[in-house]
Structure 1
């Protein structure tokens, strides 16, 4: 592979995989199976510094405003492009020479995440929100670093565009398993053993990622690119620093020109609904009067089923109809899924929170996970086609930071919005309802941008010819 992106590859007539092919490959192909475990490792810390932490804080009586602002520790994910050039060009300390550049950074990041989760368990809300937030920031920083290198490994390890699609689906499946674990299974543990113990268990589960790192092999294309870079100026020289930091962005816009700006614009808006509603989801469950066991049971049954279905359908839609149609359908489904929480809140307001039964809550949870997972597969697969070899980590970090930065900023005000709506005369459930419907609606401009992009960008050949 050269510095040209996948979008420029010659026409390839390949059999498009069906749903069964996706799941069989996840458990039979070594790289795809390892990707499943790495996806789990990447997804596990995410909610532990976000929504699940908000549930813990709400249990301790923390205000929605404080919970919303504390979610800003997630900005570490939004600015990971700032240190991704160093991940592209430098070996990890101590273990880099042994494991290779990608796997070395994986192991370092996973170790810091695990230690940070133990630190959060020790500190807890009783240690003060500032100290707890500081430790959570360390976890988020290490988790973002892990994301950088896992994304680079996924793209570089795939030998064909079809395998990249399969590995992207495996990553999303592992990620969703991790979300279920850190958003649902953890509630069972917290309810019966306490929050500190539950966070300690999550630290132990990071061992799954360590296993996958040791089991994986360094991609041949990574070694080749590293050897080519070795002959260039050192990173600490002006020219070497410029190539590492600015080079990836020049290469990206040289490839896509003004369309690159349109791509970044739609990517920045595409996942807004999920980000904005995120900090208020678990406090909403708490204020509905649902026990941790009920929430956990629904998440591990209806939620898991919805995630699996959304990933499978998302992968199938992309394989059969192309990236752009997958993005359009996924974006619409995501907006409707987030807005469905608003319908649940209004139902609880009119019928009483006691009317929110297991099946009612479960149906909303299934639809939410289905829509969000479908949109996630579409976006991850699309962004994976836009990178250039040699700059994989930095360019993908730029793209994934772009999709996160606006949402990470706005979600910090989510608690303020809900409390202000309530202060204007609405009940708490009505306030949640208005908020969730609005959160879903802000995803629609991104869908419009995808349609525009599909109309103006050059027609692709190969796997995405169906766009």
Structure 2
């Protein structure tokens, strides 16, 4: 990675689209990030189920989605360095986006030719790589978005456009992959190859864009240099990921964790660790002077600065963001296996995830963007949480209805509308918590932490369902009731966090 350091103080991109051009750009970037997401989450769970992988192990695969939670570990690199070739010509943000798209394409194409029934660890490796490169694309795009639209009024339309693209792509990937997989001549291999090809479409469009005003070299030479550097980086990341996975699997085996293990108690204990660490460190952080190494550090400085500015209110903020999207995340991993178990075919699920999900999701995103730009944040967040909960309760209702396709459409519409609305409002809220001096790193930290607790619990979702079933209850019913109540629980934090005000920065205090 040392070769990335072509500029230790790489400036932000100077290409600043405005108005409709800016929204069109983020429609495209959202589409790029949304296509692969379902392929390592919802679609993957159905593929595992088709290969008769147990529900507990399917639940474990939700931990692949934990990777975006830890994006703060490498997000400072994206704020600091250029990608060789790509970055020098197209700018820092677009350079990282182009590298990430290559990683997405190669990871998804590799998953196409690996059968989970024959090699579950290799499937997990490529799923993790797909999640890593998808997350890297999001980090670069989010940082650029915050730079281009620093105010609440500007963030609403841009965030909505980004989520329109993101959710359109999720619908295209989810429904398209299932419809292709249900065809005997294509199957799961054809489904993953088709989505990989679609995910690669934005790459040549970015190549054709005008260079950064401060860029160097020519287009062809920069493209060639970027491709060579990308191959090296992709291979290095694959090797490191495989090594880490080998160590983790060995450790889990040594601890006796298997597909029959109830990991929920361990997960709940682990969820408390970040809050204990933050509470212990806050008193010292609050007293750090501007010259303190921790505040000036490239690696941890942006995160220390967040806690320095918000003090103990940061604990309330972190608790709120870790609960707000809880219901959506818990439902994501197990909703499709439950629906499949009710007797719906892959094609029926695919049709529900196409037009119905698209219209409902886009409506929710549009309304959420409008609310986020015009309403008080606390009111917008409250309404978003309520509709997200309704979407989760809809799965409980669906489970007790005859398997009629129209019924599936209604449950899907409720879920996607609530997710779209709550997601847009939440993106704007997180963006406004960020210090403009550290947009990429701090947004990565906040948005990643927001999904740490939900994704940890989601990984034990299969074990929860099995435990409820063993106790004589309907496991899926209780699971989705819990997920809906979790969304509503976030409302309890709003009277407190609505009073959160950041401490003036050092330069502001001096002024």
What band does the TM-score fall into relative to the shorter chain?
A: 0.7 to 0.9
**Pairing 1:290–2:383 present:** no
Name the TM-score, length of structure 2 as normaliser.
Answer: 0.76
Task: Give the Cα separation in 2 of the matches to 1:414 and 1:115.
Answer: 30
For 1:200, which of 186, 189, 193 is the aligned residue? Answer: 193
Query: Is it true that 1:70 corresponds to 2:70 in the alignment?
Result: no
1:183 counterpart residue number: 174
1:20 alignment partner in structure 2: none
Task: Identify the residue that residue 298 of structure 2 maps to in structure 1.
Answer: 244
2:379 to 307, 316, 325: 325
What does 1:351-390 align with in structure 2 at a 5 Å threshold? Answer: 355-390=402-437
Give how far 1:214 is off: 3.8
Structure 1 stretch displaced more, 252-261 or 43-52: 252-261
Deviation for aligned residue 1:207? 2.2
- The answer on whether the counterparts of 1:274 and 1:338 sit within 8 Å (CA) in structure 2 is yes
Residues in 2 aligned to 1:117 and 1:168: alpha-carbon distance in whole angstroms: 26
Rounded Cα–Cα distance in structure 1 between residues aligned with 2:72 and 2:115: 30
d(CA) in 2 for partners of 1:73 and 1:159?
Answer: 32
Aligned-residue offset at 1:317: 1.9
Deviations 1:281-328 (A, max 9, x none): 111121011111111111112211110111111122223313221111
Can you give the 5+ residue segments of structure 1 that lack an aligned partner in the other structure? 1-25, 222-237, 349-354, 460-467
Structure 1 residue 90 corresponds to structure 2 residue 98 = no
1:140 offset after TM fit, Å?
Answer: 0.9
2:483 maps to which residue? 439
SS in 1 for 2:435: coil
**Aligned: 1:271 with 2:325:** yes
**Offset of 1:215 from its aligned partner?**
5.9
How far does residue 162 in structure 1 lie from its aligned partner after superposition?
2.5
Cα deviations by residue, 1:114-160 (Å, 9 ceiling, x for unpaired): 10000000112144111110111111111111111111111112265
Q: How does 1:62-461 map to 2 (within 5 A)?
A: 62-158=53-149, 160-192=151-183, 193-211=186-204, 213-214=206-207, 243-345=297-399, 347-348=400-401, 355-426=402-473, 430-454=474-498, 456-458=499-501
Q: Distance in 2 between matches of 1:220 and 1:357?
A: 56
Q: C-alpha root-mean-square deviation of aligned residues, in Å?
A: 2.4
**C-alpha separation between the residues in 2 aligned to 1:219 and 1:418?**
52
The 8 Å contact of residues 103 and 214 in structure 1, kept in 2 or not, is answered as: no
C-alpha deviation, 1:377, in angstroms = 0.4
Paired residues, number: 408
1:464 maps to what in 2? none
Higher relative contact order (CA 8 A, sep 6+): 1
Question: CA offset at residue 425 of structure 1?
Answer: 2.3
- Displacement, 1:362? 0.8
Kept in 2: contact 1:310–1:370 (CA 8 A) = yes
1: CA distance, partners of 2:28 / 2:463: 37
Partners of 2:148 and 2:23 lie apart in 1 by 10
Is the 1:39–1:175 contact (alpha carbons within 8 Å) kept by the matching residues of 2? yes
Return the alpha-carbon distance in structure 2 between the equivalents of residues 219 and 449 of structure 1: 43
Alpha-carbon distance between aligned partners in 1 of 2:463 and 2:198, rounded to the nearest angstrom: 34
Residues in 1 aligned to 2:434 and 2:48: alpha-carbon distance in whole angstroms: 39
TM-score of the superposed pair, with normalisation by structure 1? 0.82
Judge conservation of contact 2:321–2:449 (CA < 8 Å) in 1.
yes
Deviation at 1:251, TM superposition (A): 2.5
Contact 2:295 2:302 in 1 (8 A): no
